[in-house]
Structure 1
Amino acid sequence: MNSEIATLKAEFEQRITSTRRGARLARLLAQQTLGEWGVPYGCEFSDAVVSVVAELAANAVLHGHLPGRDFGLRLALSDVLRIDVTDARGERRPVERPAAPDEEGGLGLLLVGELAPRWGVTERNPGKTVWAELPWPASAP
């Protein structure tokens, strides 16, 4: 990873169709953007960011979807990498809850909480933004 990137201020923002394919596209766009910012594919930081984006985008598509409305992905780099995923449903707030052992879902925000030291929800009109912040690595992986 390029050490000059840590002082860089950069931003990526995209509206994406609120579908499963859109959620996959969000993950791929995040991975590509990190590569353009000097983060090697497959390093620990890249994998963490892609996992957080995948979870937040999947939640936006599954729980924040309104017909005809896209969701938004924003990556903002300063001394931390902030990930914002915005959807149109403000009344459906994400809840971090333990899943029952036999449940197939419900663990996503627990994963986000493990990978991102800070995350939360910001109300918008209309909708909400679920965000996560990951510290930018000081040295190359």
Structure 2
Amino acid sequence: MVSEAPPYRPQSVCFVDQLSLVAVNSAAATARRFLRLSLAKWQAGCLEDDAFLVTSELVTNAVAATGVLGGQPTWDGLKGLGLVTVRLIGLPDSVVIEVWDVSEEEPALRHDTAPEDESGRGLLLVHRCAKRWGVYRVTGGKVVWAELAVGPVPPPPPLPKRQRQRQWSERPLVVPGPTTDPDLLRLLLAGLQARL
């Protein structure tokens, strides 16, 4: 499963967005908000559900591998602050989600989880949602990636049919046009007073 390079060629990249997060329990929720904004900006919202699931699983695993920062860290504890980085890469027909962490240990896909197990199914979900996924090593850690295929964008719904304008039985009253602005204002005032 470990490869030596990213799953794409740099010349095929259409867009990239990246966010570094502190390794805390709320990192996955923050990554999902980042993902929603990026996909909206790229008009790729059709991937949102699968991308949320994949990102949540990869970030949760990365936070666990990096080491979760405690709830009340001391100043000395902040020196060893662990970070995870989420990067979204748009390709012509897919989106790649990459999550970097400081651990060099390769994640393991488990097929032997029981229904009552509270963990162990994350990579299985990634495996089922992604077109392909894998791991590559970088200096100081690893990157786990998943590629989601972009399907054809459905056409927009048709515009509503225009209603035919009502035909008036009466012909509009034709008033000779005023010759100056004060004449127009007087005519407008007379019309308004006649309605009151």
Q: Which amino acid aligns with 2:67?
A: H
Hey, what does 1:36 align to over in structure 2?
41
Helix, strand or coil for the counterpart of 1:71?
strand
TM-score by length of 2: 0.62
Counterpart in the other structure of 1:59: 61
For residue 85 of structure 1, the aligned residue among 85, 91, 99 is: 99
Contact kept, 8 Å, 1:65 with 1:88, in 2: the verdict is no
The one-letter code sitting in structure 2 at the alignment partner of 1:15 is S
Note the residue ranges of structure 1 that are not aligned, 5 or more in a row.
Answer: 1-6
Normalising to structure 1: TM-score of the pair?
0.85
> Post-superposition, which runs of at least 4 consecutive aligned residues in structure 1 deviate over 3 A?
none
The 1:8/1:61 distance shift into structure 2, 3 A limit, reads closer
Q: Per-residue CA shift, 1:37-64, capped at 9, x if unaligned?
A: 1134xx4x21001110111001001123
Deviations 1:23-45 (A, max 9, x none): 210111111111111134xx4x2
The within-5 A match list for 1:1-141 is 9-40=14-45, 43=46, 45-65=47-67, 67-79=80-92, 80-90=94-104, 92-98=105-111, 99-140=113-154
Task: Say which is worse superposed, 61-70 or 111-120, in terms of deviation.
Answer: 61-70
Which structure exhibits the higher relative contact order, with contacts defined as CA atoms closer than 8 Å and separated by 6 or more residues?
1
Task: Answer whether contact 2:65 2:102 (CA < 8 A) is retained.
Answer: no
Q: Distance in 2 between matches of 1:75 and 1:23?
A: 14
Q: What number of residue pairs does the alignment pair up?
A: 131
Task: Tell me which structure has the larger Cα radius of gyration.
Answer: 2
In percent, how many aligned pairs have the same letter? Answer: 32
Distance in 1 (CA, whole Å) between partners of 2:101 and 2:13 is: 28
Partner residue in 2 for 1:4:
none
Unaligned 5+ segments in structure 2 are 1-11, 69-79, 156-196
Measure, in 1, the Cα distance between the counterparts of 2:109 and 2:102. Answer: 20
- Give the letter for the 1:51 counterpart: L
Q: What's 1:3 paired with?
A: none
